[in-house]
Chain A
């Protein structure tokens, strides 16, 4: 059973470009979460999705950031018109069910560098 798969592992974008980060949850998991980790900071929640639904996007910036989890295919975190401050590690986690009694498993992360 493959774990949570994220790609790419490393992504370099110039200011103003778009970044697309992909996450395939563990087999059997239908709940996906995106977190961002800045240097010297803990992981910060961004968005929680189930298939075709955004459940909680309270941690996501209102502009330039969007996320989706289509019926088929991976979850995508999209950052438009990237700025230097978007440089961070973006982690995806998945869980089997909703609720606080199911552990979430993390992917390896995508390290985004904006130059």
Chain B
């Protein structure tokens, strides 16, 4: 069975800190890895990663995939209270485009 494990499960930091969120996976047919941010509503798409070693960046957020280590990290620099959310890692596997999600990482940014 495909598995996606995120760590840590929760994290509390102060504004201005830099955080690194981890996602590791065991899947039989990797296609791509996605990161989402979920506040009290819809998961919002952040990044899609398909190739190892190529960093994707959007403002203070960046992410990279390591297919050798079967993992990905999501970095957030200069955190703000608005970054408080659950960060979800998900993988596309197999032929039918379904996403397998991890349980998510709850990030709390204190002022």
Contacts and interface: CB of A to CB of B under 8 A. Distances in A.
Given A103-B45, A103-B48, A108-B42, A42 B97 contact: no
Given A103-B48, A106-B36, A31 B43 contact: no
Contact of A42 (B31, B48, B98, B101): B101
Interface string B52-72: 000000000000000000000
Contacts of B48: 101, 103
A-side binding surface: helix, strand, loop or mixed?
A: loop
A106 B43 contact: yes
Interface string A82-115: 0000000001010100111111111111000000
Contacts of B103: 40-42
Interface string B99-111: 1111110000000
A43 B50 contact: no
A91 B42 contact: yes
A107 B44 CA distance: 9
Interface in B23-48: 31-32, 34, 36, 41-45, 48
Contacts of A41: 103
Contacts of A105: 45
Contact of A56 (B50, B88, B92, B98): B98
A73 interface: no
Contact of A101 (B50, B90, B98, B104): B50
Interface string A42-56: 111100100000011
A39 to B, nearest CB: 11
Contact of B32 (A42, A45, A101, A106): A101
Given A42-B88, A101-B32, A103-B34, A33 B43 contact: no
A19 B44 CA distance: 26
17 contacts: A35-B99, A42-B4, A43-B88, A43-B90, A43-B99, A55-B96, A55-B97, A56-B97, A95-B97, A98-B97, A99-B31, A100-B50, A100-B92, A100-B93, A106-B36, A106-B43, A106-B45
